[in-house]
Amino acid sequence: MTFPGTAYLLATLAGALATFASLPLWRAWCVRTGLVDDPGHRKIHDTPVPLAGGLAVLTGLLVPLILGAVALQLGVLPAAAVEKITYGFDKRGLQLAAILVGALGMVLLGWLDDKHELRAGPKFASQLGIALLVALAGVRIKLFPHHPLSPLLSYGVTVLWILTVVSAVNIMDNMNGLCAGLGVIGAAAFGGIAAGQGQYLVASLALLAAGALAGFLPYNYPKASAFLGDSGSHLTGYLLAVLAILPHFYTAANPHPLAVLAPLLVLAVPLGDMGCVMWIRWRAGRPVWEGDTNHLSHRLVRAGLSKPKAVAVIWAVHALAALAALWLGTGRG
């Protein structure tokens, strides 16, 4: 296998192995420091579970990137690969740095929320700041490029998109494996779309994220010895939101007008679930941010499925939507 296939495979495997190997260490640290999810109302477990997933997934992202940077500096990579990777860094270096800082920020924010149950105001302000940082670095949704208000619209839509996806994914973290599995499928789909467009750096980053999340799943599905926690669900939502912006969907090579809908297809399940539960709460006269058991996963369980089967059904629906997005985003629509 030659570049870029080797790079994609290495990114996926490195992310998975780094997460898988580091999780026992993070799990032990969480137990020592009391960072655990205790049993309680609307909880599906009866013993404390370490909230180690977010820290392990972040490790799965950072360790391969650091090793890759070292390999690049030592000159051990093939010349053709170095040329293409360097070109990608030259074009998107600032964006990549902002994305990584944002990932660290989301994990830190989630960790603080796991530890201290932050109030809604400071939590939202922190999410807003991270989203704005990413937008300022150039990771933006560009609408109506010739409109005089285009820059302002671009920043506003980008920040709104990131906040919405983070919230949608966060509230779907309600059964073992659900959130991480959605993240694996979504990140892999964005990686496939970017690879189909020849965007090597974006594809490698997306597949690295998919691998890092996949490395967590053996500890979380069907039975959980660790949870993602808010740090992990925030990170997963953030990664999916950013990866939905980075690829070029409507291009000269893929001029299909519906290609711009690919990100919405990839994220149709979490966004649709959030929309439905908020509608139900609003109709019932309750605050839309108040938690309940009206999510799709809960409804499937009430319909008679076991929790692991309910999660598998949602994964399957999510995968079908992701395949449709891949079909559109790679010019096959």
* Whole-number Å distance between alpha carbons of 205 and 225: 27
Question: pLDDT category, 9, cuts 50, 70, 90?
Answer: very high
Contact 134, 162 (CB under 8 A): yes
| pLDDT tens per residue, range 96-106 | 999 999 999 99
* Whole-number Å distance between alpha carbons of 36 and 288: 27
How much is the average pLDDT of 29-33? Answer: 96
Least confident of 19-23, 72-76, 79-83, 171-175: 79-83
* Whole-number Å distance between alpha carbons of 257 and 330: 12
Residue 147 has pLDDT above 70, yes or no: no
Q: Return the pLDDT at 254.
A: 53
How much is the average pLDDT of 147-157? Answer: 80
* Whole-number Å distance between alpha carbons of 127 and 37: 22
Residue 45 has pLDDT above 80, yes or no: no
Most confident of the following: 129-138, 290-299, 322-331:
129-138
**299-to-85, 273, 285 alpha-carbon distances in Å:** 45, 11, 20
Question: pLDDT category, 89, cuts 50, 70, 90?
Answer: confident
Q: Which two tokens stand for residue 226?
A: 């660790």
How much is the average pLDDT of 122-149? Answer: 87
- Please enumerate in sequence order all residues whose Cβ is within 8 A of that of 166, keeping only pairs 6 or more positions apart, or say none: 106, 127, 234, 237, 238, 241
| pLDDT tens per residue, range 281-291 | 999 989 888 88
- Please enumerate in sequence order all residues whose Cβ is within 8 A of that of 199, keeping only pairs 6 or more positions apart, or say none: 88, 246, 247, 248
Q: Return the pLDDT at 94.
A: 93
| pLDDT tens per residue, range 258-273 | 677 899 999 999 999 9
For 34, other C-beta atoms within 10 Å of its C-beta total 10
Task: Of 325, 180, 164, 204, give the one whose Cα is nearest residue 259.
Answer: 325
In the chain, % of residues over pLDDT 90: 70
In the chain, % of residues over pLDDT 70: 91
**34-to-22, 25, 31, 48, 50 alpha-carbon distances in Å:** 18, 14, 5, 9, 8
* Whole-number Å distance between alpha carbons of 205 and 86: 14
Most confident of the following: 69-83, 147-161, 259-273:
259-273
How much is the average pLDDT of 114-132? Answer: 94
Contact 307, 295 (CB under 8 A): no
* Whole-number Å distance between alpha carbons of 225 and 236: 19
Strands of the chain (E only): list them: 36-37, 49-50
How much is the average pLDDT of 212-223? Answer: 97
Q: Which two tokens stand for residue 282?
A: 């609003």
How much is the average pLDDT of 47-59? Answer: 95
Residue 25 has pLDDT above 70, yes or no: yes
* Whole-number Å distance between alpha carbons of 283 and 299: 18
Q: Which two tokens stand for residue 184?
A: 């694996």
Contact 242, 139 (CB under 8 A): yes
Q: Which two tokens stand for residue 236?
A: 């997963």
Task: Of 197, 120, 127, 121, give the one whose Cα is nearest residue 161.
Answer: 127
Domain boundaries, the chain: 5-257
How much is the average pLDDT of 318-331? Answer: 88
The mean of the pLDDT values for the chain is: 90
Which conformational region is residue 147 in: left (phi greater than 0), alpha (psi within -120 to 50 degrees), or beta? beta
Residue 52 has pLDDT above 90, yes or no: yes
Question: pLDDT category, 332, cuts 50, 70, 90?
Answer: low
